[in-house]
Structures are given as structure tokens and as C-alpha cells.
Amino acid sequence: MSETITAMASPNIALVKYWGKRGDGSLNLPNNSSVSFTLSENILNTKTSVAVAPDLKEDAIYINGELQPKDQKNEKTTFISKIIEEMRKNAGFSDNLLVVSNNSFPTGSGLASSASGASALVFALNEFLGLKLDSKELSIIARRISGSACRSMAGGFVYWKKGELDDGSDSYAEQIAPQSHWDVVDMIGIVNESRKKVSSSQGHSATTKTSVLYKSRPEYAEKNADLVVDAVRNRNFAALAEVVMRDSNNMHATMLDTWPPIRYLNDMSWDIIEAVHDLNGKNGESIAAYTFDAGPNAHVITTAQHANEVREMLSEVMGEGSRILEAPVGSGPKLLSEKDSLITGEFLKNI
């Protein structure tokens, strides 16, 4: 076993959304299948290093330089600790671990830091502990940390099968087309970098429990997932675009119909929605598609051919000083070399 292992993973953007969990919610099993593409690790990434920490009394997890508290209130970190514990046990390993993880983008900004964080961690641990789990098993572990994270365990275009079983063993993500298949780009308009008010975990549960509209969503989204798989396979952007926009709108409608209502979009998000429809109208067919996760930031999907027009449209709507990231399709998680380790002498001196 080598001394430190470092992995890098990136977020994914859902073209058909996961919103609402089946069962008691604890395994992050979705009510519908979803489809995404993994974003380029050159634009957005999480790097995670793992090392043995024999001097520590318990595992220590640092995210963006901060030691994560082990209190029950912090559900996500409690869960990360449980997964580490489980993977360590499976490997028959007993030492405490030091895990250091840094995001290249703001945590909790609606840019899916939990997806890239969980997939980088699971990928690094598998290697560090010598578990040799296959991509299906890794996807299932990542899913249990954060549902959408299972889609970041693969690169390119990815389908997360809803599955039927209560134990979740048939609910995992698989690549449907590689990174090189299609030159689509996610043009991300950063509308707001602050933490979201209602976490996605709270939102999933509130919407399924209280929204009347939500009752029709699982069947609709399942069909959308099939349509998007076909559109991706055939590189049919106009077909893809309509389903992507409608699916995002449908999910946000169920959020608004939640009681008390949840609103993730703001006025700027809406200005972007309208501008995309105007641009598509002018072109006579869709060259851009917006989609929004649990936050106001706009993901405008287009192809490399139309990237300039879409970038211009976005900067015009968002005004001066606007931040726009441009993420092509990414390759999925990978190991980095020892020289990229976040556990440096300098880091150890300061903890």
C-alpha cells in the first residue's frame, strides 16, 4: 500500500433530473432514472488525498482546509465517515485515515460539489485500500453518499438506472457514450455563489411528501430519460434540448408545489430562461438548452459550434462582471501522481 493516494473527479450536469427518493430515503434510491454528462475536470474538480494517520485518535476529514466536525447535525459528513469505516473494514484495515479534499469551486453553490467530492473520495479509497471494486460497486457506494454522485463515477454521458430492488443493488450509473462522442458544452452562468437555503436532501423529501404535482413526475421523467438516451446516441441536439428544458421546468414546478414551497430559481435565472427561448426562436431550431439544479445558477447546454453565440447571449443577460464557466464533457475520475498530493509537509505542519 502506498503512502498517499490522490484522486480527482468532477461534477456532472443532469439532463434529466433525480428529484425524490423511494423507500425510506436512506440509500438515495431514485423514483426515476436520470441522465447526465460528466463535466470537464479541467474546469471544475475535486481533488482528494488519503493517507494513514496513526497519530490521530480517529479519522480526520478536511474539506477545503476545514476539519469537518463529527456531530450528528452534519448528516453528510457523518455519512462520509460511515462509508470510510465500511470500506476500511472490507479491506481488513485498522489504522485511522487522514482525508483531505479540495474543490476548485464553491461548496454548496448548486454546482454539485457533493457529487465530485463523493466520487473522488470513493475512487481514492478503493485504490488506497486495494479493494479492486468494479465500476458498478463504486457507483453504488458513491450513490449512498449522495445520489447524483453515482453519475460522476463515470466519464462521458451517463445513465443512472432507477432500479427496482429495495437494497439498491440494481441502482447504479453506467456510461452510455464516451467523452469523445459529442462536443457539447455546459456554459454555467454563476448567478449566486452562496449556500442554498434548502439542501437538496431536505428538498427531495419535502417534495415527495407534500407536492400534488410530483405524483406525475416519476413516470414523466422516466420517459424523458429514454428520450435523452436516444438523442445523445444520435447526437440530435434539437431533440435533446426540448426534453432537457422541459424536464428542468417540470422538476422546479414540483419544488414550487412543495409545502412550504421551495424556490431555487431567481429573477436572473428566469431572464436566462427567456433569453434561451429567444435565441432558439431566432435560430429556427434549438441550439441551446437551459437546466437548473437545486440553485439559481444556469447551466446552458450547447454544442461547440454554437458556443460563441450562447456565451454572448449569457454575458449580455448577466451584465458586467458576470462569471461564466465553460465546461465540455469530462473523462471521469482518475488517479493523480504523488506530486499532486494535498497532504504535503506544509499541510501537516498547520493541522
Q: Which residues bind ligand DP6 (CB under 6 A)?
A: 14, 17-19, 28, 34, 114, 146-148, 200-201, 204, 293-294
When the beta carbons of 168 and 185 are compared against ligand DP6, the nearer one is 168
Q: What's the min distance (Å) between Cβ of 178 and ligand DP6?
A: 21
Q: What's the min distance (Å) between Cβ of 28 and ligand DP6?
A: 4
Pairing, β 288-291 against β 298-303 = antiparallel
- Which residues touch 86 (CB under 8 Å, ≥6 apart)? none
Q: What's the min distance (Å) between Cβ of 277 and ligand DP6?
A: 21
Separation CA 243–CA 228 (nearest Å): 7
Q: What's the min distance (Å) between Cβ of 98 and ligand DP6?
A: 24
When the beta carbons of 105 and 128 are compared against ligand DP6, the nearer one is 105
Q: What's the min distance (Å) between Cβ of 156 and ligand DP6?
A: 16
Q: What's the min distance (Å) between Cβ of 281 and ligand DP6?
A: 27
| Max CA separation in the chain (angstroms) | 65
When the beta carbons of 28 and 49 are compared against ligand DP6, the nearer one is 28
When the beta carbons of 40 and 291 are compared against ligand DP6, the nearer one is 291
Distances (CA, A) of 277 to 56, 184, 301, 304, 347: 55, 18, 13, 19, 48
Q: At what angle do helices 200-210 and 237-256 cross, to 10 degrees?
A: 80
Separation CA 220–CA 190 (nearest Å): 29
Which run of H or of E encompasses 205? helix 200-210
The residue whose Cβ lies closest to ligand DP6 is 147
Chain length of the chain: 351
When the beta carbons of 6 and 152 are compared against ligand DP6, the nearer one is 152
CB 22 within 8 A of CB 216: no
When the beta carbons of 103 and 201 are compared against ligand DP6, the nearer one is 201
Which run of H or of E encompasses 246? helix 237-256
